Amino acid sequence: MSSLRLWGLTLCLALSWAMSAYAACTVRPSSQDELGHCISSASGGDAVAALMVGDALADVSARIYDPQNSIIWWEKAAAEGSSVALRRLFDTYWYGRSVVRDVAKARLYLDRAAQDGARWARLVQSHLLEIEEPGAAAEHYMALAVEGSCPAQLRLAQGYDRGGWLEKNRSQALYWAIVAGMAGRDQARAESHPLFESRFHYGDCSNESYFLKTELAKAVPPDLRAKVEASAASWRPGRLPERQGPVEVPAALGVAPAGQGAVGTSATKLPEWRALPTALHRPPGRAKFGAEEVFATVRRSVYVVVAARTDEDFKANKARFGSAVAMDERTLVTNCHVIDEMAVVWLRQGSQMMRATPSGAESGSDRCLLSVSPGRLSAVPGVRPWEDLKVGETVYSIGAPKGLEATLGQGLVSGLRIVKGIRYVQTSAPIAPGSSGGGLFDAAGNLVGITTFHIRDAEGLNFAIAADEYFR
């Protein structure tokens, strides 16, 4: 046999062995030989193979049962980006399967999976937060619901119906019940988890929503019900919900009710700074939209701020205009120079007016927070980190220059700057008086900054405080 033919035969045998090894790693190995092939692939960085090895070693009915080593291989698969492996690790420590139960360690795996965008993890995370941080739970569920998660939509419907961890609003409950009914019959099972499912039993979104919306419809007046049904019918994934009907909720402690609050006769000192909770730092969306879609997605999150020293000044139109961006149903971010020395602060959007109260301030960095009660704001869909931005990408400013509500501007990220420890987004998107405190959004509708100032006599030199800074 010639050396060339011998070399060809050797190559064919090598390829045949490689293909068999690869095939063995597409299913759970059941023998030592198959396990060896999978371990070889997993050691080379194959996440699927590492997951298969872990699953095989965790199978109590298999001859190769070795639960301690299964954790090692799941860890390796998770490190290579397997969200399924993170679920295996969460379940192992949460339920104490072959290990001592460790809830804290399980929560770390849950958080990792949620950060990677796994819906099962985000649902479980939301469920656990209902008792720990009700406001954060509402935000987590809302983010999932906006993406199209029918279990989250049903949970919001029940939450709005019963109140407690969420404001009581039967119209909003009916809205989400109708939207959830648009989902496929098996969607809930595909994205859920036993920890969530055993509590709420959303195995079939269609059936669950049918009974829920039938009951809710009885509690909503016919004229309002027709509006809610029309609004729900026009909903699409990625679109923020319309506000539906009256809210039945008492004022939050320490926050003046909308339309009331302390009547200022002189300027009041701004409260101490308190960073936004990390739960409001919702994961950014990655879909790319045009200007029209971005505007439609986020315009309801940006409010006109009308601030005055006294109620008399406000009535006499002696007011300062600015903007603010809603981060949840009760909290907005803005610039301190918009509300500094102003005892009377109102928010305006269309014909709606509501009283706002300063709830946190760091004047040196021009970061301020506003609160309203009861909650009725439309939060931004996502927050994008400053480090993730790229110079040259398209961004959009939405504010109220000269008090002109919902003015859209388009430009580029022209620089990423750090000044005195504060991160800024330099942009060519227009910023003018009245735009201060408004939002700077990327092409997916994520908040990237709060428009703050522009340099006079220099075209296009505009700056926004990075959205991240409000969480520090």
Of the chain, the end-to-end C-alpha distance in Å amounts to 73
Q: Give residue 425's pLDDT.
A: 95
Using pLDDT thresholds of 50, 70 and 90, give the confidence band for residue 44: confident
Q: Give residue 247's pLDDT.
A: 40
Based on the fold, state whether residues 224 and 294 are members of the same structural domain: no
Contact criterion met (CB below 8 Å) for 64 and 56:
yes
Distance (Å, whole) CA 73 – CA 42 = 8
Distance (Å, whole) CA 111 – CA 103 = 12
Mean pLDDT within 73-86: 90
Where does a domain end: 95, 116, 137? 116
pLDDT value at 189 more than 90: no
| Closest residue by Cα to residue 26 from 11, 10, 12, 46 | 46
Average pLDDT, the chain: 81
Contact criterion met (CB below 8 Å) for 301 and 326:
yes
**What is the DSSP code string of 323-391?**
EEEESSSSEEEEEHHHHTT-SEEEEEETTEEEE-EEEEEEGGGTEEEEE-SS------S-B--GGG--T
Using pLDDT thresholds of 50, 70 and 90, give the confidence band for residue 17: very low
Using pLDDT thresholds of 50, 70 and 90, give the confidence band for residue 64: confident
pLDDT value at 262 more than 50: no
Q: Give residue 268's pLDDT.
A: 60
pLDDT value at 185 more than 60: no
Q: Judge whether 377 lies within some domain.
A: yes
Q: Judge whether 245 lies within some domain.
A: no
Q: Judge whether 288 lies within some domain.
A: yes
Distances from the Cα of 6 to the Cα of 12, 19, 353, angstroms: 10, 20, 85
Q: Give residue 336's pLDDT.
A: 93
How many domains does one find in the chain? 3
Q: Give residue 279's pLDDT.
A: 86
Distance (Å, whole) CA 382 – CA 367 = 19
Q: Judge whether 272 lies within some domain.
A: no
Residue with the larger pLDDT of the pair 34 and 417: 417
Distance (Å, whole) CA 28 – CA 54 = 9
Mean pLDDT within 264-274: 69
Q: Using a pLDDT cut of 90, give the percent of the chain over it.
A: 36
Q: What's the CATH code of the domain at 463?
A: 2.40.10.120
Based on the fold, state whether residues 106 and 158 are members of the same structural domain: no
Q: Give residue 30's pLDDT.
A: 75
For 391-419, how does the pLDDT look when each residue is reduced to its tens digit (9 = 90+)?
999 999 999 887 788 899 999 999 999 88
Q: Give residue 264's pLDDT.
A: 37
Based on the fold, state whether residues 111 and 136 are members of the same structural domain: no
pLDDT value at 360 more than 90: yes
CB burial class (10 A; 0-12, 13-18, 19+) of residue 472? middle
Q: Judge whether 262 lies within some domain.
A: no
For 285-341, how does the pLDDT look when each residue is reduced to its tens digit (9 = 90+)?
888 889 999 999 999 999 999 999 898 888 888 888 999 999 998 999 999 999 988
Q: Give residue 304's pLDDT.
A: 94
Q: Give residue 81's pLDDT.
A: 87
pLDDT value at 144 more than 70: yes
Q: What is the DSSP letter of 90?
A: H
Based on the fold, state whether residues 331 and 368 are members of the same structural domain: yes
CB atoms within 10 A of CB 334: 30
Based on the fold, state whether residues 429 and 351 are members of the same structural domain: yes
Q: Where are the alpha helices (DSSP H) in 96-181?
A: 103-115, 119-132, 134-147, 150-162, 170-180
Where does a domain end: 169, 202, 233? 233
Q: Give residue 458's pLDDT.
A: 47
Based on the fold, state whether residues 52 and 22 are members of the same structural domain: yes
Q: Give residue 136's pLDDT.
A: 80
Using pLDDT thresholds of 50, 70 and 90, give the confidence band for residue 258: very low
Q: Give residue 201's pLDDT.
A: 65
Q: Judge whether 320 lies within some domain.
A: yes
For 197-250, how does the pLDDT look when each residue is reduced to its tens digit (9 = 90+)?
777 766 677 777 888 888 888 888 888 888 888 888 888 887 666 655 544 333
Q: Give residue 187's pLDDT.
A: 55
Distance (Å, whole) CA 176 – CA 173 = 5
Measured N-to-C along each axis, helices 205-219 and 150-162 cross at an angle, to the nearest 10 degrees, of 30
Domain containing residue 109? 11-116
Residue with the larger pLDDT of the pair 278 and 163: 278
Q: Give residue 7's pLDDT.
A: 40
Q: Give residue 43's pLDDT.
A: 83
Q: Give residue 375's pLDDT.
A: 64
Q: Give residue 190's pLDDT.
A: 57
